[in-house]
């Protein structure tokens, strides 16, 4: 397995396939690089070099009990980018990975990043506060933590239904997709996943978005039940200097999997533009 070791001794697993302009994929919580299979294969065949890592505490990376925060996640990405000497790279983040992309590009990406894409992403900030009245109440995320701590395996059986929109009338759940979600979640570390809930829900990416100078494609489904669009993509597109916003009617949070053909085509058009 390919991995790098960070300054605090954490091993970060990664995949690195092909040649050409690099695309770095950043996965959501509590998943791993495998969540990008449909994109990795597609863009590899389009002539790109495709890279995806398992965030610390997730997948095959070290099950850390510390450093499970956005600053450290972004620093880990910077270490991987330096190790691979990536330049003119495109960074694509889904959900929590979108926050990781925003923090990395703003803090570490100067001279190395060509473009970015945020898909169903958590920025600017998810939790409700006086400055973010449209956010989700803290109690929502407290409930996530409580369910994870009580029975993580069962909790991870239930999340895929709203994640992929399988709880909607007429939806046809895929046992394979839901089982793969559960598999990815369960190979990660419980402590890291618990801590990451705070990282993805309470981190404020407003300044990161304002400081990003490269073109950014913002994609979001208007039926996203995990990261509601009104307090995420619609606000992020206004904060970014060079944003292109595309909204998909009826698409769920996990649209990179359920509608991979559409999302891949739109990403490819943006990358080539």
Catalytic residues: 95, 224, 253
DSSP one-letter string for 114-167: EEEEEES---S--B--SS-TTSB-HHHHHHHHHHHHHHHHHHHHHTHHHHTTTT
CB 237 within 8 A of CB 133: no
Q: How far is the C-alpha of 111 from the C-alpha of 114, rounded, in Å? A: 8
Residues counted in the chain = 273
**Closest Cα to residue 104, out of 135, 120, 80?**
80
Could you give the angle at which helices 190-202 and 138-158 cross, rounded to 10 degrees?
Answer: 140
Phi, then psi, of 248 in degrees rounded to 5 = -110, 120
Paired tokens of 178: 């839901």
Paired tokens of 127: 């939790």
Half-sphere exposure of 92 (CA within 13 A, CB side): 24
Distances (CA, A) of 125 to 7, 58, 67, 133, 179: 28, 22, 20, 11, 29
Q: How far is the C-alpha of 75 from the C-alpha of 68, rounded, in Å? A: 11
């Amino acid at each position: 397995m390919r991995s790098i070791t960070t300054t605090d001794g954490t091993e970060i697993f990664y995949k690195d396939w092909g040649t050409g302009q690099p695309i770095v994929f950043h996965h959501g919580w509590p998943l791993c690089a495998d969540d990008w299979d449909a994109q990795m294969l597609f863009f590899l065949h389009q002539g790109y070099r495709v890279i995806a890592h398992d965030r610390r505490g997730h997948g095959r990376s070290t099950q850390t009990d510390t450093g499970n925060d956005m600053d450290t996640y972004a620093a880990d990405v910077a270490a991987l980018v330096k190790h691979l000497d990536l330049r003119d790279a495109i960074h694509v983040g889904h959900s929590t990975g979108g926050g990781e992309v925003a923090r990395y590009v703003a803090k570490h990406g100067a001279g190395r990043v060509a473009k970015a894409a945020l898909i169903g992403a958590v920025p600017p900030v998810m939790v409700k506060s006086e400055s973010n009245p449209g956010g989700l109440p803290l109690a929502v995320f407290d409930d996530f933590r409580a369910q994870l701590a009580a029975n993580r395996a069962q909790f991870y059986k239930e999340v895929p239904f709203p994640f992929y929109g399988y709880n909607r009338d007429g939806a046809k759940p895929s046992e394979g997709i839901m089982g793969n979600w559960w598999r990815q979640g369960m190979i990660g570390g419980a402590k890291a996943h618990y801590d990451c809930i705070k990282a993805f829900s309470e981190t404020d990416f407003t300044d990161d978005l304002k400081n990003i100078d490269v073109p950014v494609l913002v994609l979001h489904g208007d039926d996203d039940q995990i990261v509601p669009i009104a307090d995420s993509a619609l606000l992020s597109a206004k904060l970014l200097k060079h944003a292109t916003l595309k909204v998909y009617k009826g698409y769920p949070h996990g649209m990179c999997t359920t509608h991979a053909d559409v999302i891949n085509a739109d990403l490819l058009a943006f990358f080539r533009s």
